[in-house]
Amino acid sequence: MKYNILNNWNIMRLIRLLFSIMVIAQAFETKQRLLAILGLVFAATAIFNVACCGAAGCGVPAKKNNDTTTDISYEEVV
């Protein structure tokens, strides 16, 4: 857990953290609890590096092509 929090910071993760800080600040300024909860959820996704699919979980696996080509014999029909 500690490794996941401290390492692998990229630009998208920083943007999510900055966005969540802005949302939390706006929530405290306008005294809206629901907005603060939303900001905390965004902060948690940035800090723990998870998203709706998990950490780097949205990649689609490559299709394995197991089809082999076989020779087709044709007969001439008269």
44's CB contacts (< 8 A; 6+ apart) are 50
CA neighbours closer than 13 Å in the CB half-sphere of residue 22: 6
Per-residue model confidence (pLDDT) at position 52: 66
- Output the pLDDT for position 10: 84
**pTM for the complete prediction?**
0.62
Average pLDDT for runs of 10 along the chain of length 78: 76 91 95 94 87 61 70 83
